[in-house]
Amino acid sequence: MTGDFLSPLRAIPQLRVDFIERVPDLPIETDRDEAMRRLRDHHTSAIEQHGFSTSEWWRAEQVHGAEVALAGESSTILAADGLPVIPGVDGLIAPQSALALAIYVADCGAIWLADRVNGAIALLHSGKKGTEGNILGRAVVRMQEEFGTTPENLIGVLGPCIRPPHYEVDFAAEIVRQAAESGIGSFHDCKTCTASDLHRFYSYRKELGRTGRMMAIIGYPTHS
């Protein structure tokens, strides 16, 4: 199991979280759509290994915006890899239920959120533009509205993303500031740069756009 930085979330009973890093030896020097097609079997396997069926797997279209959708109740379209996504959004929220939320990144930041009291969860795609739109703050507000979440009960984690000096904008630092502003009770930044380790991570900027995507996962499976 990868992603030791996710240990604060793994302390929540029954919650499954993971970060699927670069797939070794998979030729991936191609555009995003073809990369996602090549990665589909690997990511499907990861979802199933965590005790979810593919029908419980919810994804966002990821348009570099700040919109957040309720997984399980939103309409979907088919993505290039043949699997459904919720259109027009970069964040997903869900109550404690048998759903697996997934977000893909290759320099942008994946943000995991879990309410340690009521079990509500969120998974966000926050790069330069998503951070400018404060997708994190918007997700916290949606969790308050939909699930009655109290921000101080939230545990949050920011995963590997591009950082200075490999990128001129330190959006990771802004995400940490937004977490404090939103009142999140416990927020952890893994402080790892994707562009610094191409053996482990895909980096859109370092690989000039011809690369794959890591997959972030969060959810409560009904079986294991």
* pLDDT digits 0-9 by tens, 78-117: 999 999 999 999 999 999 988 999 999 999 999 999 999 9
Q: How confident is the model at residue 211 (pLDDT cuts 50, 70, 90)?
A: very high
130-162 per-residue burial string, b: 16 or more CB within 10 A, e: under 16: bbebbbbbbbbebbbeebebebebbbbbbbbbb
Domains and CATH numbers, the chain: 4-219 (3.60.140.10)
9/7 Cα distance (integer angstroms): 5
Q: How confident is the model at residue 1 (pLDDT cuts 50, 70, 90)?
A: very low
pLDDT surpassing 70 at residue 223: no
Q: How deeply is 120 buried, as exposed, middle or buried, from its count of CB atoms within 10 A (0-12, 13-18, 19+)?
A: buried
Provide the whole-model pTM: 0.96
